[in-house]
Amino acid sequence: MVKINKVKDTVFQISGLYKIYSKKLENDIRSGDIPNHVALILDGNRRWAKRHFALAKQGHWKGADAVENLLDWCEELDIKIITLYALSAENLNRKDEELEYLYELIRRRLEKLYNDPRIHKNKMRVKAIGRVETLPDSIKDVLKRLDEATKDYDEHFLNVALAYGGQFELVDAVKKIGEKIKDGSLDVKDIDKNEIEANLYTSHLPQSSPDMILRTSGEKRLSGFLMWQSAYSELVFMDIFWPEFRKIDLMRAIRTFQERKRRMGK
């Protein structure tokens, strides 16, 4: 787990040494292997708000701003595939004002993304993964337009996990495979790893398995995120709330990734 002493880090940041360190860190990680696919669990919005004596919605708003910054940093570091865990399927069971606010915030940011020239400049395919059919029509409408506008792009990929659950993803994959067996297009003996992956939400990706999965807020679990795809992913847990996330934190996570010995089960 990557730990950050917030007091020391704040003092360091306002000094001239911070820029020097940041530049050196970036040069160092650029000399190593940059992960091609990075997945992030965006955790800690409400706890950040509580710590700052703010409303929960302010934490979510700051978290949404951090996502926009993240897209810039990933572009600068040439990370090709980004998968964001934005809203779990379990969250949809909470019928409260906060969930309605989250729906509206997600809709607004998706609309902003739809009009963002970066997705066209970078040839970025944008796709939601999860049980999207359970989301409000206003969100499904924007997602449909984003999918249509970017369906032919294949240089960069942005996946937004909405109404997502790893167990639900596997259940849905089994159902798709069952339908193929039922209509005669697939024989049971032909079910293998590739067939399962072809029926997951991430089947459109050139690389469905993240090289690195990063979770903020200090929690050390995946919470069902990409259960199949994470089999050999490097896991990095950072003791920082998502709204506070900076480029230097992303670079520290990449440095941790580069220091690992990836044997892929061998």
What are the phi and psi torsion angles at 53 (to 5°)? Answer: 55, 45
Could you tell me the pTM of the whole model?
0.90
122 has catalytic annotation: no
Q: Which pLDDT band, with edges at 50, 70 and 90, does 11 fall under?
A: low
Residue ranges with strand state E in the chain: 37-41, 81-88, 124-129, 156-164, 212-215, 234-237
pLDDT at 14: 57
Residue 209 has pLDDT above 70, yes or no: yes
Percent above pLDDT 90 for the chain:
77
CA atoms within 13 Å, Cβ hemisphere of 7: 0
Q: Which pLDDT band, with edges at 50, 70 and 90, does 3 fall under?
A: very low
When the pLDDT of each residue in the chain is averaged and rounded to a whole number, the result is 91
d(CA 109, CA 91): 19
Q: Sort 154 into a burial class: Cβ within 10 Å, 0-12 / 13-18 / 19+.
A: middle
pLDDT at 264: 66
Active-site choice (36, 91, 172, 239): 91
Active-site choice (5, 27, 33, 43): 43
d(CA 144, CA 126): 10
Residue 115 has pLDDT above 50, yes or no: yes
> What does the domain layout of the chain look like in residue ranges?
33-164+207-259
CATH architecture of 33-164+207-259: 3-Layer(aba) Sandwich (3.40)
d(CA 249, CA 240): 9
In the block, residue with structure tokens 């029926």: 199
Residue 12 has pLDDT above 70, yes or no: no
d(CA 2, CA 235): 11
pLDDT digits (tens, 9 = 90+) for 52-106: 887 777 888 898 999 999 999 999 999 999 999 999 998 887 767 878 889 999 9
Of 57 and 236, more confident: 236
Residue 15 has pLDDT above 70, yes or no: no
| Tokens, residue 252 | 């520290």
Residue 2 has pLDDT above 60, yes or no: no
91 has catalytic annotation: yes
Residue 56: helix, strand or coil by DSSP? helix
